[in-house]
């Protein structure tokens, strides 16, 4: 059983900071060719600087909610690396919701960002993976990993839109897994709890007491580092998980084993 992704090509979205950046860097360090994708061009440039032509990394900036942008992302990846084997849908957004406000548009916003962007890119990349595998009757064809959240299984009114969008992403994962299984493309998700992402850092700056609440409600008693999530994603991207598809892998330090007591499902 091998967890190697050496020589494979991956697209990682949401790769300008936080968890997406950690995953993309980890993949590159493991020998994969990686396209870092995000709408924040400045941040991508700051993080990656000038990229040599023979480097195993490239970056792409654009609004992935636009169909033309995702088509250009795939074209840029193929131009750079000739193929694509792994897609990590890490581009996501978190907003609070006012549940009884009819003018609150957060559900629509997060369904667009957290669900439909991942769906459209998955569809496009899957078609490319299938085309690459023409004439090859055996062996894995590709792996798609969606970044979800334990919020999909929690009921916190202020996170209504985020919970709905991540729950929808989980069901999309299962449905695509069944649809793409005959093509030998696996689709899984990682639902995480408290990982030291850019957004969680911002929350902890504004609400310093949250750290203690999170740690109290996490059996392992701490907040995960982004690299720990990256290693879980690598497992799902590798041939070592070759018989795993349609699964939501929970990486939360045991948070979902306990009843929530005021801890943000993040």
- 21 part of a folded domain: yes
Q: What local confidence, expressed as pLDDT, does residue 266 receive? A: 56
Strands (E) across 51-129 are located at: 57-61, 86-89
Could you give the percent of the chain with pLDDT greater than 90? 74
Closest of 34, 40, 30, 23 to residue 6, by C-alpha = 30
Measured in residues, the chain has a length of: 266
- 208 part of a folded domain: no
- 164 part of a folded domain: yes
User: For 30-47, what is the mean pLDDT?
Assistant: 96
User: Residue 144 and residue 139: Cα distance in Å, rounded?
Assistant: 16
Positions annotated as catalytic residues are 162
Q: What local confidence, expressed as pLDDT, does residue 93 receive? A: 87
Each residue's pLDDT tens digit, 188-202 = 999 998 888 777 888
Strand order in the sheet with 185-192: 57-61, 33-38, 9-13, 86-89, 142-149, 185-192, 248-251
- 259 part of a folded domain: no
The CATH number of the domain where 126 resides is what?
3.40.50.720
Is the pLDDT at 264 greater than 70, yes or no? no
- 84 part of a folded domain: yes
- How many domains does the chain fold into? 1
Per the structure, the complete domain to which residue 163 belongs is given by: 9-193+226-253
- 218 part of a folded domain: no
Phi-psi region for residue 62, left (φ > 0), alpha (ψ -120 to 50) or beta?
Answer: left
- 231 part of a folded domain: yes
Each residue's pLDDT tens digit, 147-183 = 999 999 988 888 899 999 999 999 999 999 999 999 9
């Amino acid at each position: 059983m091998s967890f190697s992704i050496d020589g494979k090509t991956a697209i990682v979205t949401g790769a300008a900071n936080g968890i997406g950046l950690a995953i993309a860097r980890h993949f590159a360090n493991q020998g994969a060719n990686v396209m870092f994708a995000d709408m924040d061009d400045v941040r991508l440039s700051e993080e990656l600087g000038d990229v040599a032509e023979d480097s195993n990394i490239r970056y792409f900036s654009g609004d992935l909610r636009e169909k033309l942008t995702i088509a250009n992302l795939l074209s840029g990846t193929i131009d750079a690396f000739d193929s694509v084997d792994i897609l990590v849908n890490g581009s996501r957004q978190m907003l609070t919701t006012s549940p009884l406000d009819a003018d609150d548009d957060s559900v629509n916003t997060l369904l667009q960002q957290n669900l439909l962007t991942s769906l459209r890119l998955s569809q496009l990349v899957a078609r490319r993976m299938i085309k690459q595998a023409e004439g090859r009757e055996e062996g894995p064809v590709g792996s798609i990993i969606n970044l979800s959240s334990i919020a999909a299984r929690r009921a916190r009114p202020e996170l209504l839109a985020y919970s709905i969008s991540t729950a929808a992403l989980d069901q999309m994962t299962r449905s695509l897994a069944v649809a793409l299984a005959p093509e030998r493309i696996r689709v899984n998700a990682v639902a995480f709890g408290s990982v030291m992402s850019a957004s969680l850092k911002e929350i902890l700056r504004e609400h310093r007491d949250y750290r203690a609440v999170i740690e109290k409600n996490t059996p392992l008693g701490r907040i995960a580092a982004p690299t720990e999530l990256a290693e879980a994603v690598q497992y799902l991207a590798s041939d070592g998980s070759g018989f795993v598809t349609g699964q939501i892998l929970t990486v939360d330090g045991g948070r979902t084993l306990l009843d929530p007591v005021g801890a943000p499902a993040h």
